[in-house]
Structure 1
Amino acid sequence: MKFHEFSISGKAPVPGTAKPFQTFPVWARKLWPLPILLLATLARLYGSTASAIWCDEGSSLLMSQYSPSLIWFHSAHDVHPPLYFVLLHAWIGAFGDSLFSIRFLSVLTGIGTVALGIWLVYQVATRYAAVVAGVLLALLPIAVRYSQEVRMYALMGLWLLGATIALVYWVRNPGRHRYLVIYALLMTASFYTHYFTGLCALSHWAYLLIVRGEKQRLITLPAWWGANCVIAILYAPWIPGLIDLLQHLDQLKAGGDIGWISPISMDSLPSTIWLFLTLTDGQDLKWPVYLALPLALALVTGAVCLRDRSPYRFHVLLAIYAFLPLIVVFLVSWSVPLLVERYLMFSALGLPMILAVAIDRMRHQSRYAAVAMLATVLAVELVGLRNDYHTDDEQFDKLVNYVNENYQANDRIVVSDLFWYFGYVYYNKTGSVPLLYTPPQANGASGRPGNYGFGTLVNNEADKIYLDSLEKLPVGQTRVWLVSNSAPPDDFAPIPNNWNKVSTLKVGDTQVRLYTLGGQ
């Protein structure tokens, strides 16, 4: 059957029973995914420039300023692999670094992810299910949220859905090794994008432990092992840097690049499901409502898996893809906290696909129940989109623009923390290089960043930007802007006695203070 020869139910049309959809010209029937992709585009473009650049995005931008070879070096000292930063480097070179441009790269990959989700569901279910999955993916709050951020999460989702599609094609045709070649390339690209790719690989292996080919288990085929050996070989150049990074975990922890993830509790698992679908942890809800959503998802997923009697159990694959990474991270996090919802965005993409399959099956039993279920899921997603689109007026760029507008020649700008520094650098238009305040620690040790984590992005400029004491500002300085957290304690205390505060502007949880020095 050709792609356009299916009715909306996914079944071949019966002569004389053509539905209105089938009266469209052949070329129009092929374009049915376009309205869904338009919806995905609008959902991701809306509000994509409303929020200010924050720390992680600013670090992406600083990393992307290096040449590809230096990106390789510095990302080997960071907590994420290099591929996204190399692509962002090329993107900025071609399209500039405006806020719209730098976030549009993620918008595009997010739209591509929706397209691949439609494709995957169309391969394992019906066109009706593919349409529903496309709409739910287009509006999935966590997917929209991280399709509007200058980070690698949308790109990771694109690689892994593409690899899962290649796996489906290979499972159906184990003799077609080209599908495994595509699989190996996409998985390698994802490994070079984010380390949590290993959880998706684990899901694929778990699925192949279940499914059988016509003669034997596919997991035993030499071609499968060969494809994974290719992935390992292609990833081998990165292994020395990864080992070196693991040997310096103490520096990463000291710099706050790791160790910031909160310990988990039993609430963490259902809260993550709520975050996937609403961008809130749901813990302000009454406990019956709080537990209802994850329990309903578990029941629906179980029903979909139990009713999957197909030879290849592709619906089980969707369930494993969606839930196994989350469960593994949840269990590991009891020892080493790793549960961060954005790291698992790729697996959250499986939820709309499972729900679409369930809705498709339900409509054959009760169309009203299917409509009610779809409406409920859409309502939950719309709540999540409302949360995503809600932007505080007190944005960090407002603070930086205030300094830009009131800056005078020879003023110095001092930022108290790397968390604010990266965003400040992006919005800074004064021509003056902001200084980073690095006072000694209480035990006398240096307060400067280490060579690993965020420190790798700025240590090469240590002589230009680090300021260990306010008294060490250049002689003759007359005005200084101090940028810090607005909540006590004061990051800059004590302020030198001969400094006179001229003005203060508080924006959200940050503040900037202007001082004149030496009685000026």
Structure 2
Amino acid sequence: MSTNRDKAEAFSTQEKLSDEMGKLITRNRAVWILLWSVVYSTLALVGFGRSLWIDEYATIVDSSGSLEATAQDPGHPPGYFLLLWPLVHLFGDAEWTVRFPSLVFGVAVIWMTYLLADRVSADHRVSILTVPMLATNPYLVRFGNEARAYTLLPFLILLTTYLYFIARDQDQMRPWLTTAASGVALAYVHYYGVAYLALLFCYHIVNSAYARVARGRAMQLKGILGAYVLIGLAALPLVPIVVDQFGVLAAAHAGRLIKPQQILFLTSAFFLPASTTGYELTLEAVAYVAAWSTPFLLLILAGFWRTLQARRTAPLPLDLTMIMAAFVAANYALHLTGYWFFNIRYVLCLLPVLIILIAEGLAGLVDLVSSRFMILSVAGSALGRLTHRTWTSRRVSWLAVFVLGVTLFGLVYAPRILIEADSSYPYSIAGGAEDNRGAIKYIASYSDTNMTVLVEPTFGAGVLDYYARTYQGRINVTGVSYGASLTSLLESLILAEGSVWYVWSYAYTLDPEGQVIQWASSNGYLYSQTDHGRLVVCLFSVQSNPFHS
């Protein structure tokens, strides 16, 4: 009798210790994620000092008017702007106000990726490793300080996917309802969200049909059909907006179509030392991409191979990878029609999946080396003698994974993290947006008198006028269109006022050959020119220094 009591007490003690260990691990993981959330936030906050660029100014315009006007953005559903609307009306349209939600959702992407990795992967090291990799990823850092929906969209896609996996496994009403709620939010935020919901539904149907053929037992469709009916009903108010927006949408200009070679570099672009998707398929470009991204691509392949091997016992990582790959491919196919714009920022949800595969690859590499060469046992003994502690193979395995991860991401990421965080970096022509604040400050430094600034193209005038407010109306910004009448306008202003400012954008100008400059030079007008990122600020004058006085 006492033996049974002793066994029961021993079992109870073991159970308590197990519970305490579980709580300790959970607590440590929360601290781990919080620590890296602070690192990410710090890196993203450094970039808050950048000038707004045209798209960010469009966010201010769309979220600062009436609620009716907020729903009229020409290319997006109103969800993101409705989210910003109360913030802008409470705190004003300052840069930090419109950028702060992007930072919050950037942190949310890190947490959501951790939860998703913890659910899909049987290896607990994978979810832990995803956190520092994402927190220091320059793309996520970059979009964590941009006033657009580029962090909100991947967060909602990851959340919807996470809830979908739970609902698919449990097949009960409550998880399908939460999936539907997340899907509604996704549909209201971005058209890429609508595309993702459509693809997720198709994937479920195809997967169900495959399960019926392969295993003789299909997945239930009642739950997902009910969820999508709810999403459709909740999204009905979007129908007139979509019809209105796409009804007047002209086909994309051929020059804005993403070239096939740029898609080849898509996976690599997340790990390159400069933000651009404009690589050409040349030997120099391929060598450049390969030099920086090969370690990451090899780890992605290793992680994918590991998920393939474990697909029978742990199919979720492969499911997740295939869903995201199909999503990117489908959107690029739509893009080729000319009516669907494609950019790496719209498929930022691919990055967490690549990070999960890299973590799988790192963990698998350590396991492979340790099983072949018994390195972990030898290392454990050596560390034990040095530190006077017991080092199990499991502890050494964790240490090896972290050493590999820190070495790889420290050496390759560190330069780019610092470059991306530098508030002046995005002003370079190769690296990013226009420096509208710097352009206005440069113009204002010339004189205290009123000045006319002509901006081409017309839609670029708004953001310059936003920064001109600081100078109390003495800088008068006017949008102009490139054409024959532009040179006539410039000439009349120069002759009447002695000088005129002309600003245009490398990204949007209709005068890529610089014919206005050639016209000014051939007609004997003096000019000074300076670059502010993708902006060119030019002073045309009949005097060598018109503001000298």
Q: Is the 8 A contact 2:495 2:542 kept in 1?
A: no
Deviations 1:106-161 (A, max 9, x none): 11110111111112222223543221111212122222221121111111112111
1:63 and 2:78 correspond: no
Give the share of equivalent positions with the same residue, in percent: 17
Q: Distance in 2 between matches of 1:203 and 1:32?
A: 34
Match of residue 130, structure 1, among 127, 130, 135: 127
1:301 and 2:299 correspond: no
Match of residue 210, structure 1, among 207, 211, 230: 207
Which position in structure 1 is the counterpart of 2:265? Answer: 271
Which deviates more from structure 2 when the two are superposed, residues 114-123 or residues 472-481? 472-481
1:39 and 2:39 correspond: yes
1:145 and 2:142 correspond: yes
1:323 and 2:333 correspond: no
Q: Is the 8 A contact 2:138 2:420 kept in 1?
A: yes
Q: Is the 8 A contact 2:268 2:293 kept in 1?
A: no
Residues 419 and 146 of structure 1: is their aligned pair in 2 closer, same or farther, counting only changes over 3 Å? farther
Unaligned runs of 5+ in 1: 1-12, 448-466
Which deviates more from structure 2 when the two are superposed, residues 196-205 or residues 182-191? 196-205
What does residue range 378-389 of structure 1 map to in structure 2 within 5 Å? 379-389=411-421
Residues 358 and 503 of structure 1: is their aligned pair in 2 closer, same or farther, counting only changes over 3 Å? closer
The one-letter amino acid of 2:311's match is D
Residues 273 and 179 of structure 1: is their aligned pair in 2 closer, same or farther, counting only changes over 3 Å? same
Q: Distance in 2 between matches of 1:329 and 1:29?
A: 36
Q: Distance in 1 between matches of 2:23 and 2:79?
A: 46
Q: Give the CA deviation at 1:24.
A: 5.5
Residues 286 and 276 of structure 1: is their aligned pair in 2 closer, same or farther, counting only changes over 3 Å? closer
Which position in structure 2 is the counterpart of 1:99? Answer: 95
Which position in structure 1 is the counterpart of 2:71? Answer: 72
1:424 and 2:456 correspond: no
- Of structures 1 and 2, the larger Rg is shown by 2
Q: Is the 8 A contact 1:64 1:86 kept in 2?
A: yes
Could you say which structure has the higher helix fraction? 2
Q: Give the CA deviation at 1:68.
A: 1.8
Match of residue 87, structure 1, among 83, 86, 100: 83
Which deviates more from structure 2 when the two are superposed, residues 372-381 or residues 129-138? 372-381
Residues 510 and 419 of structure 1: is their aligned pair in 2 closer, same or farther, counting only changes over 3 Å? farther
Q: Distance in 1 between matches of 2:202 and 2:299?
A: 24
Q: Distance in 2 between matches of 1:287 and 1:479?
A: 46
Q: Is the 8 A contact 2:135 2:141 kept in 1?
A: yes
1:483 and 2:483 correspond: no
1:349 and 2:352 correspond: yes
Unaligned runs of 5+ in 2: 1-12, 280-284, 371-396, 429-434, 507-511
Which position in structure 1 is the counterpart of 2:431? Answer: none
1:285 and 2:287 correspond: yes
User: Aligned with 1:196: secondary structure?
Assistant: helix
User: Aligned with 2:350: secondary structure?
Assistant: helix
Q: Is the 8 A contact 1:136 1:378 kept in 2?
A: no
Match of residue 510, structure 1, among 486, 511, 536: 536
Match of residue 438, structure 1, among 475, 481, 485: 481
Which position in structure 2 is the counterpart of 1:261? Answer: 256
Q: Distance in 1 between matches of 2:26 and 2:241?
A: 53
Which position in structure 2 is the counterpart of 1:4? Answer: none
User: Aligned with 1:481: secondary structure?
Assistant: strand
Match of residue 175, structure 2, among 167, 171, 179: 179
Q: Is the 8 A contact 2:184 2:235 kept in 1?
A: yes
Higher relative contact order (CA 8 A, sep 6+): 1
Task: Give the TM-score taking structure 1 as reference length.
Answer: 0.76
User: Aligned with 2:453: secondary structure?
Assistant: strand
Residues 155 and 24 of structure 1: is their aligned pair in 2 closer, same or farther, counting only changes over 3 Å? closer
Q: Is the 8 A contact 2:43 2:421 kept in 1?
A: no
Residues 308 and 492 of structure 1: is their aligned pair in 2 closer, same or farther, counting only changes over 3 Å? same
How many residues are matched?
471
Which deviates more from structure 2 when the two are superposed, residues 224-233 or residues 486-495? 486-495
Residues 263 and 159 of structure 1: is their aligned pair in 2 closer, same or farther, counting only changes over 3 Å? closer
